[in-house]
Structure 1
Amino acid sequence: MANPNESNSRSYIMSMIKGRDTKPELLVRRFLHSKGLRYSLHPNKLAGKPDIYLARYGIVVEVRGCFWHGHENCSLFILPKTNRTWWSKKTQKTKDRDYRNEMILLSQKIKTIVVWECSLRSNCRKQSLENLYSKIVDSSDTFLY
């Protein structure tokens, strides 16, 4: 028989998970700001209310958690052993929504750059952030109006 306190503690833990201002997102925002880039946070008018919007470059930066967004071939994404069917459907719906939002933004000539949580680990963080900065400021990689 399941421990009733286990369910309550699991519910509490899940309620503490944030959707905005996560540590990886704050890390990326601090880095971009230190490089002199200015951005908007979670603009309502853009599909999916992306994490970071750099209007000057026509770029959206999505900082995605590997577990919640189903990062393929990543050690941080493992389907839970309980209720696998539900988690599998949830992950697939999230992936579909991410793709749909990217296509909407692309139709508006806004490029999406995805930064995965695992790429911000301490051993590869500096390189990942520098690559992100290069992608943003490289005008040949962005849409020009």
Structure 2
Amino acid sequence: MADVLSEEQRSRCMSHIKSKNTKPEVLVRSFLFANGYRFRLHRKDLPGKPDIVLPKYKVAIFINGCFWHGHKDCRYATIPVNNHEFWKTKIEGNIERDRINIAKLHEFGWRVIEIWQCQLKPKNKDITLQNLLTELQYE
């Protein structure tokens, strides 16, 4: 299926997508704060600049967009038909970079929790957030 937007329009749309303070990220932060957890955001001294860092528990949380981070077998992670090779290379690069950053965090003794955008959709949100609490309580 061809793109309904021109190349310039698509470029403008893609350039406006935020990488910090996204709705899923704010949702998780609000939930953690309401449950008594205190955290830091986007620590530059840690590999991958995790979205949420709980230093007390030595936990790094990444809230990943399904498209941008290539969530396997997810309906939101389809590679566009237009400029297919560019997007395929871009997303594969993101996946590899994520893998390397997570491995480095593990080497430094950090626990890593990945939450996917699709897990925070209304149907799955409550289960995902409860699972997050459970994971934080068990070290």
TM-score with structure 2 setting the length = 0.94
| Paired residue total | 135
Separation of aligned partners in 2, 1:70 and 1:112 = 18
Pair 1:79-2:82 in alignment = no
- 1:30-45 superposed matches below 5 A: 30-45=30-45
Q: Which residue of 1 aligns with 2:15?
A: 15
Alignment RMSD (CA, Å): 1.0
TM-superposed CA distance for 1:8, in Å, is 2.5
Letter in 1 for 2:137: V
Q: Which residue of 2 aligns with 1:131?
A: 131
Q: Which residue of 1 aligns with 2:68?
A: 68
Letter in 2 for 1:89: T
User: Which stretch shows the higher mean deviation, 19-28 or 79-88?
Assistant: 79-88
SS across alignment from 1:56:
helix
Separation of aligned partners in 2, 1:72 and 1:124 = 17
TM-score with structure 1 setting the length = 0.90
1:57–1:137 CA contact under 8 A, matched in 2: no
Separation of aligned partners in 2, 1:92 and 1:8 = 24
SS across alignment from 2:6:
helix
Pair 1:90-2:90 in alignment = yes
Q: Which residue of 1 aligns with 2:24?
A: 24
1:79–1:88 CA contact under 8 A, matched in 2: yes
Partner deviation per Cα, 1:59-90 (whole Å, 9 max, x = no partner): 00100000000001001011101121111111
Listed as ranges, the gaps of 5+ residues in structure 1 are 140-145
SS across alignment from 1:63:
strand
Listed as ranges, the gaps of 5+ residues in structure 2 are none
Separation of aligned partners in 2, 1:7 and 1:87 = 14
TM-superposed CA distance for 1:137, in Å, is 1.5
Once superposed, which parts of structure 1, at least 4 consecutive aligned residues long, lie more than 4 Å away? Answer: none
Letter in 2 for 1:98: D
Separation of aligned partners in 2, 1:70 and 1:11 = 20
Could you say which structure has the larger radius of gyration?
1
TM-superposed CA distance for 1:6, in Å, is 2.0
Partner deviation per Cα, 1:8-59 (whole Å, 9 max, x = no partner): 2212211110000000000000000000000000011101111000001110
TM-superposed CA distance for 1:128, in Å, is 0.4
